[in-house]
Chain A
């Protein structure tokens, strides 16, 4: 009797447990299916790669990638602040939870030798597009440290400034080269120029401008020793006191707002800001310049966390790295943000194969030409310059002047 009761009770408990388990699993599955960025296929296959990096490396809709590769990415965006990035990777040991990092090339100079980034396995079977990727992209100095490959090229561009053609009497087709002299000293835009609060970008661009015009003798405008940084800061202080700058901005949203509100005539912004502003103001209302003196040439690299190589997700990580070299990612990055990257021909082919409009296809070709044209001018950025400390101190002098 007792046995029977116990047995019934056990049966009841088991049934409750069973129901509970079924409900839990169903709920979990349902939750997974509606989670943004994680498709059912990817969830089922366990193919999610965890990424952390700059906002601009993202596709606006990652589900496109999931459809074509079955891969899914759980991407945590950050701004282009090297300090925050270094803190998270080194201090917070983000490699324990994230598989890949995407940031301005150059961070590997420290994070590679320090053991936070793994060397790229160029022979990995998933990295099928590596061989056909031009050396100009994959062997760029900003992806390597100590003769070792730590990064895979993702996107790149030459940064300079956006402008309203009418404000400086420039050709509205945007094909003319506009001198940085106009940006720093143009009388017509005096008091209507916005300069980026990022000292890495603004000090380097100013140094390149001064170097071009023989007013500064420096080997690398992106890495200024103390005396050179002082000359650059002195010049910027002089321009600030002359009332040349309207504002010193700090965020991408500000760039868009300053252009959209026509608060400034020139701004050393990111190219996507002009695209966003033109969405509000109309086509070609603002132009992203070709310049006389040169650009802040940068490239984002995708780096693999050393700890991730010990996990069981390496194949998916390399599949994702390969995706960054492929046509789909290239086409969408160029279309949505105006950024180029390696294997642009694959991007054009993707657009043709997928029935994109001729205008879009022409735009992709144009993006490739544009970036090639920019990369013929100096110089390359450096996100961890050896003289970072003195550059930042001099920049503070400019801010406080």
Chain B
């Protein structure tokens, strides 16, 4: 009995000892001690080191399909001489334009889906429809537009049959319009989903309270919903802008060679085994993306603390 009591007495103490031991172990794993250096080491090996290799490779050149391991600026100079730098500028322009277009379309759509659509069935159906692009191969999905947008395609045939035009509208295909059009469907879901999720997390009472306090719908949108949806908006922009910089299929199939983007230029270089050229172009992409993200963070940071934003989401 005494032993049992002793044991019972000792129980909480032992548990306390075990807890304190576990706490000490967990403290040891706290971000400041192990996690941050460990993550930085892992990240460096996985991402930074290959990037450094790519940058170094851009200072080599290829002769007769063989890489010549002598440092040179020839590859970088050729980027200017060959006009490949124009592909970089064009890519950035198209990527930024498309990101803005996608945001303008996706935000109201996500707002409706998260707060406006009351039917669970409709909501589930819409979300399912949005995932369709992920199931289909991009080329198979995009090439269909050729037979729709071409001079003998469905749209031109309809326009001419209706007497709206005398000649086929040629800019519908093999133009920047066609490329933008093709990109629209591909990059809509990556913009919508994060925004939808962040808006869905906003407590309806906040919106209701805003209205009760006399705010107009516009004031509620700009002063309540937008700031609270900012994490999703930032994520949507990142998930849209970054892959857009490497868009390849749409410009290839719908641009008709007239809208040469970075992805196409890198591919062309790789086909000739010009790895240094591809490395130089990739370096430029990373630099540009870095600049864009820094600009985005600086703009957002002026309004709110990004880290605090995500903590708020967790709560």
Which residues of A are interface residues toward B (Cβ below 8 A)? 81-84, 86-87, 90-91, 110, 191, 195, 197, 245-250, 257, 261-263, 384, 386, 388-389, 392-394, 396-397, 399-401
> If A86-B65, A110-B65 touch, does A401 touch B83 (CB 8 Å cutoff)?
yes
Q: A83-B65, A392-B268 are in contact. Are A248 and B256 (CB under 8 A)?
A: yes
CB-CB under 8 A for A389 and B274, given A110-B65, A262-B152, A397-B83 = yes
Chain B stretch 78-127: residues in CB contact (< 8 A) with chain A: 78, 81-84, 86-87, 90
Tell me whether A400 and B65 are in contact (CB under 8 A): no
In the complex, A397→B84 CA distance in Å?
7
Q: A389 touching B62 by the CB < 8 A rule?
A: yes
Residues of B within 8 A of A191 (CB): 170
Q: Counting CB contacts under 8 A, is B151 at the interface?
A: yes
How many angstroms between the C-alpha atoms of A392 and B75 in the bound complex? 13
Instruction: Give the complex CA separation of A401 and B82 in angstroms.
Output: 10
Chain B residues within 8 Å of A399, by CB: 83, 87, 257, 260, 264-265, 268
Contacts of A397 in B (CB 8 A): 81-83
A81 vs B268: C-alpha distance in the bound complex, in angstroms? 10
A87 to B273, CA, bound (A): 7
Say which residue of B82, B152, B270 sits within 8 Å of A83 (CB atoms).
Answer: B270
Q: Does B314 contact A (CB under 8 A)?
A: no
- Do the beta carbons of B271 and A83 come within 8 Å of each other? yes
CB–CB A86/B273 < 8 A: yes
Given the interface contacts A197-B257, A250-B257, A261-B147, does A83 sit within 8 Å of B86 by beta carbon? no
Q: Counting CB contacts under 8 A, is B32 at the interface?
A: no
Residues of chain B with a CB closer than 8 A to A90's CB: 65
A397 to B79: give the CA distance in the assembly, Å: 10
Set of chain B residues within 8 Å of A246, measured between Cβ atoms:
170, 174, 256
State whether the Cβ of B146 lies closer than 8 Å to any Cβ in chain A: yes
Contact (Cβ within 8 A) A248 B270: no
* 20 A/B residue pairs, CB under 8 Å, sorted by A: A83-B272, A86-B65, A245-B257, A250-B257, A257-B146, A261-B152, A262-B152, A263-B150, A386-B64, A388-B64, A392-B268, A392-B272, A392-B274, A396-B82, A396-B83, A397-B83, A399-B87, A399-B268, A400-B82, A400-B84
Q: Is there a chain A Cβ closer than 8 Å to B222's Cβ?
A: no
In order of increasing CB-CB distance, the 9 nearest A-B pairs are: A248-B257, A247-B256, A400-B83, A393-B82, A396-B82, A83-B271, A400-B86, A397-B83, A83-B272
Which residue of A250, A388, A396 is within 8 Å of B265 (Cβ)?
A: A396
Name the residue of chain B whose CB is nearest to the CB of A111: B65
In the complex, the chain A residue whose C-beta lies closest to that of B260 is A399
Interface set, chain B 174-217, CB cutoff 8 A to A? 174
Task: Identify which of B65, B78, B82, B146 contacts A384 (C-beta below 8 A).
Answer: B65
Q: A83-B272, A257-B146, A392-B274 are in contact. List 15 more A-B contacts (CB 8 A).
A: A83-B271, A87-B273, A246-B256, A247-B256, A249-B256, A250-B252, A261-B153, A263-B151, A384-B64, A389-B272, A392-B268, A392-B272, A397-B83, A400-B86, A401-B83
Residue of A nearest to B253 (CB): A254
Closest-CB distance, B118 to chain A (whole angstroms)? 45
Q: Which residues of B contact A82 (CB under 8 A)?
A: 272
B63 within 8 A of A: yes
Give the Cβ gap from A90 to chain B, nearest Cβ, in Å. 7
Interface status of B43 (Cβ within 8 A of chain A): no
Name the residue of chain A whose CB is nearest to the CB of B267: A250
- Chain A residues lying within 8 Å of B83, measured Cβ to Cβ, are 396-397, 399-401
Complex alpha-carbon distance, A90 and B258, angstroms: 33
Provided the pairs A246-B256, A263-B151, A393-B81 are in contact, do residues A81 and B271 lie with their beta carbons within 8 angstroms? yes
Restricting to B117-165, which residues have a CB under 8 Å from any CB of A? 146-147, 150-153
A394/B82 in contact, CB under 8 A: yes
**What is the minimal beta-carbon distance from A78 to any residue of chain B, in angstroms?**
12
Kindly state the separation between the CA atoms of A399 and B87 in the bound complex, as whole angstroms: 9
Are B170 and A400 neighbours in the complex by a CB distance under 8 Å?
no
For residue B274, give the distance in angstroms from its CB to the closest CB of chain A: 7
Give every chain B residue within 8 A of A261 (Cβ-Cβ).
146-147, 150, 152-153
Q: Find the A residue at minimum CB distance from B256.
A: A247
**Who on chain B is nearest to A263 by CB?**
B150
**Which chain A residues lie closer than 8 Å to B147 at the CB level?**
261
Q: Of B153, B258, B272, which is in contact with the most chain A CB atoms at under 10 Å from its CB?
A: B272
- Which of chain B's residues 238-289 have a Cβ closer than 8 Å to chain A? 252, 256-258, 260, 264-265, 268, 270-274
Report Cα–Cα, A257/B272, bound state, in Å.
26
Contacting pair B152 A263 (CB below 8 A): yes
Nearest neighbor of A392 in chain B, beta-carbon distance = B272
A249 to B252, CA, bound (A): 9
Q: Is the CB of B268 within 8 A of A247?
A: no
- Given contacts A197-B257, A247-B256, A384-B64, whether A396 and B150 have CB atoms under 8 Å apart is no
Q: Please, which residues of chain A bring their CB within 8 A of the CB of B257?
A: 195, 197, 245, 247-250, 399
CB closest chain-B residue, reference A226:
B81
Are A248 and B258 also in contact (CB < 8 A) when A83-B272, A87-B273, A263-B150 are?
yes
A401 to B274, CA, bound (A): 21
Determine the chain B residues whose CB is within 8 A of the CB of A262 once the complex forms: 152
In the complex, chain A residues whose CB is within 8 Å of the CB of B260: 399-400
B170: nearest chain-A partner, CB-CB: A191
Q: Select one of B84, B174, B272, B273 contacting A247, CB under 8 A.
A: B174
Assembled-state Cα–Cα distance A389/B82 (Å) = 11
Residue of B nearest to A243 (CB): B170
Closest to B63 in A: A389
CB contact between A396 and one of B84, B146, B170, B173 (< 8 Å): that residue: B84
Which of A81, A82, A400, A401: most chain B Cβ within 10 A?
A: A400
What residues of A have a CB within 8 angstroms of the CB of B273 in the complex? 83, 86-87, 91
Q: Which residues of B53-79 are within 8 A (CB) of A? A: 62-65, 78
Inter-chain contacts of B86 with A (CB < 8 A): 400
Q: Which of A84, A248, A262, A396 has the most CB atoms of chain B within a 10 A radius of its CB?
A: A396
* B61 to A: closest C-beta gap in Å: 8
**In the bound complex, do residue B271 and residue A84 qualify as a contact, i.e. CB atoms below 8 Å apart?**
yes
